[in-house]
Structure 1
Amino acid sequence: MHKFGCHKLWQPTARESFSGPFAAADRALERLDALLPAREPLTALTEWLCQLREHEVDFLEGGSEEVLIEGRVFQRFAARGSAWAASLAAAMRPQLFALGAAPLALAELAPRELFRAEPERSLPALLASAIGAAAGDVATDLSAVTAMVARGEERLAGLYASSQAPAMWQLIGGLGPLTRAELARALGVTRRTASQAAQALEKADLATLRPGDHVLAPKRAHRAS
């Protein structure tokens, strides 16, 4: 076992080459898929990160480097690695944690500190912290979504409203401001139906139609003083 918790179990094989800005995420996803299904998420993620650190050089953080500018030597941080790509790949596989399809995805499971040349702690310990933080973020999001849905149901109850108003409220509550045309496409309804639902949300004091760009924006819940 490597001193950072890595097992040297993987041997490189030929693979399809990728191009474009998301090539690193594609490679990370390939390696993660090769380890799935996994009974122990932490063990699988540790092995996956070891592979990225040892066989995908662009994932390692570059540390600092010396540069010569007008005859003077300066220290600067080297270009960032591809930790973002690893986090993206892990977020695309929520089944690793027996979760359903996104949006129940754990984000930022691969912070930059996992790819430092000399991590301050072992990879399993760093991963455990990242998983705990990501799970906490999901719990916070779910709590906010639950409160948002309940608020919409309360405001729309007893109010003659479009049947699309609740679904529209959930869209703008989760995604943020959207135009009526965007909402109509998302809900699969006509623009007239979308406009009626938007008017219902305005009447319920859940949303406001911005005058400049005609975007329907959710209103924040009023805090009790």
Structure 2
Amino acid sequence: MLHNISPIYILVIGAMLVSWLIQWRLRSKFAKYAQIGLQSGLSGKQIAELMLADHGITDVRVISTEGRLTDHYNPADKTVNLSEAVYEERSASAAAVAAHECGHAVQHATAYSMLQFRSAMVPALSSVATYMPWILMGGVFMIRTTLIPLGLGIALFSLTTLFSFVTLPVEFDASRRALAWIDKRGIVTPQEHAMAKDALWWAAMTYVVAALSSLATLLYYVSIFMGGRDRR
């Protein structure tokens, strides 16, 4: 039976499993480092505000948002949104996350090209996100009569895959900026720097796996499309 299973299908399932493992590892790392107090005694909020000030950014607010690992920078309203734990905590993981999100604010302020490219894609993706799953599903069911819906769905899904890969340099660059700044500013000790780097590395891996999962899913639909075309 196993030899009849498509390699692409196995790849998709494997990517889902790896994604779950990465998420589990990320949460365990953050939980571990959150228990170790930062010697500088600064909270995530204070670190974020300090990094923004050091880069001459005065029009970005640092606010608290509900949940865990919900941290993000919103370029639309220029806010650094830190999860409740990161906002209040004084740990290496909180320092890493706060500085990372401010790294996105610095990218925005300096017109970092990849961030601009990603931001330009958001309106198009938002408009198709609601309909794309239905188009793909309908295309699969209609494959014996027409390939057009599935082909359209694949074209739309390829945009989300491209977005996932464009996100990678944006995230890695934000982490690079964050680690360089907290080290130069003396926010962390060498040991705390290693913990912050490790936390950000695992966070980055979630984006890598998401991009690869999106690519695997895209290839899965392409394989269905090619199979349908061959049967015609």
Same fold (TM over 0.5): no
- Larger Rg, first or second structure (1 or 2): 1
- TM-score category of the 2 structures, normalised to the smaller one: under 0.3
TM-score for the superposition, normalised by structure 1: 0.28
Greater percentage in helix: 2
Q: TM-score, normalised by structure 2?
A: 0.27
Higher relative CO (Cα under 8 Å, sequence separation at least 6) belongs to: 2
